Structure formats: structure tokens, C-alpha cells
Amino acid sequence: METHENKPSTTEAAGRVAGRWIGAARSVFGNKPVSSAIIVVAASFLIAGGGHITHADTQLFVMMLGCVVGLLGLLAWFVSAEE
């Protein structure tokens, strides 16, 4: 019996990353603290999920992406909270 993994295509992965970047940008320019908090939670899932990936390069990429998204979300959260 063969097992098939459902790996997203490069286009799908790029779309997901772009969607997260757009969400972070909207929270920065839209000044919505709740949106920023959701982005921070999504970044924490990326960081935690990266710990379960066995391939070292992929693990590093997912965790670094989580850190970058988390930092952007925190920055947006602090900016929107001051207004």
C-alpha cells in the first residue's frame, strides 16, 4: 500500500505566505489590535509546528518564518495599541 502526502504546490505555499504578509500589512495600516493578535497566534503555531518537522532545513525555514511573522504582528499590535 502506498502512502501519498498532500504537499502544497509552490504556488499554494507562496499564496499562503503572501496572505500572511498581506494580513500583517493590513493590521499595521488598519490599526486593528485584534488582527495583530491573530497574526501573533498564527506565528506561534508556525514556530511550534516547526518543531515537529523532521527535515532540518524545512524546520528552520518554518520557524524563521514564524519569528518574522510574529515580530511583524507584535510591532503592529504595539503600533495599533498606542492610538
* CA distance to 6, 7, 26, 47, 72, per residue, from 40 (Å): 26, 25, 14, 11, 8
Domain segments of the chain as ranges? 26-81
Please check the confidence at residue 30 and state whether its pLDDT lies above 80: no
Please check the confidence at residue 26 and state whether its pLDDT lies above 80: no
| HEC sequence for 57-74 | HHHHHHHHHHHHHHHHHH
pTM above 0.85, yes or no: no
Arithmetic mean of pLDDT, 12-28 = 72
Q: Distance between CA 70 and CA 77 in Å, rounded?
A: 10
Please check the confidence at residue 31 and state whether its pLDDT lies above 60: no
Helices and strands in the chain, H and E counts: 3, 0
Please check the confidence at residue 46 and state whether its pLDDT lies above 70: yes
Please check the confidence at residue 15 and state whether its pLDDT lies above 80: no
